[in-house]
Amino acid sequence: MDRLREKVAVVTGAAGSLGLEGVRAMAAEGARVVMMDLSPAVTDRAKELAGDGFDVTPYVGDVSVESDMAAVVRTATATYGRLDVLWNNAGMIGADWINQDTDVVGVSRDHLMRTLEVNLVSVFLGSKYAIPVMAGGGGGSIINTSSVEAAGGGAGPPRPDRNSEQRPARW
């Protein structure tokens, strides 16, 4: 398959489960991909994909840091000459983090702000630096990973079965 031949993508959260499989799927369609993640493990994941014959470049950085988002876009243009796709996929989904996200009374300000920076502000930052490059190249696609929780929210952990009468009321 060759549907992304000549296309260049930046994928954030590329060392994680959805991001890594997404990078593999894009690369299998011919895309060249800059793989961004906070975790240095992204370098090993990129080496593995390169070993499978895919053209990928790792970038270790934090999506909530403006200079990192500017730099990952620059990495795409410096390495591959263009940018067609930005997939804002990084997010903090580990149980240790999610389980601190209780309710408006119990959650700490630091937890709220870090969650907003990584899950929301990062989308603004990535778009801010990608759009001018994409526009200069004739267009592009920005994809933002969300969650079913975005449609309905939740009252925080522990999360009971969806059909349980114990499901807590929403704030």
> Least distance (Å) from ligand NAD to the CB of residue 41?
7
Please, which residue, 65 or 137, has the CB nearer to ligand NAD? 65
Please, which residue, 68 or 84, has the CB nearer to ligand NAD? 68
Among 67, 79, 141, 147, binds ligand NAD (CB under 6 A): 147
> Least distance (Å) from ligand NAD to the CB of residue 118?
4
Q: Cis check for the bond before 132: say yes or no (omega within 30 of 0).
A: no
Residue 102, H or E segment: none
Residue 84 binds ligand NAD (CB under 6 A): no
Residue 153 binds ligand NAD (CB under 6 A): no
Report the C-alpha dihedral over residues 43, 126, 71, 61, rounded to 10 degrees. -40
Question: Cα 118 from chain centroid?
Answer: 9
Degrees, nearest 5: CA angle 19-45-63:
50
Find the binding residues for ligand NAD in span 3-32 (CB under 6 A): 12-13, 15-19
Residue 58 binds ligand NAD (CB under 6 A): no
Please, which residue, 70 or 137, has the CB nearer to ligand NAD? 70
Q: Which residue is nearest to ligand NAD (CB)?
A: 16
Residue 144 binds ligand NAD (CB under 6 A): no
Three-state SS at 32: strand
Please, which residue, 22 or 140, has the CB nearer to ligand NAD? 22
Which segments of the chain does DSSP mark as H helices, in order?
Answer: 17-28, 41-51, 66-80, 95-98, 109-116, 122-136, 149-152
Residue 37 binds ligand NAD (CB under 6 A): yes
CA distances from 162 to 100, 149, 154, 165 (A): 20, 12, 11, 8
Which residues of this chain interact with ligand NAD, rule CB under 6 A?
A: 12-13, 15-19, 37-39, 62-64, 89-93, 118, 145, 147
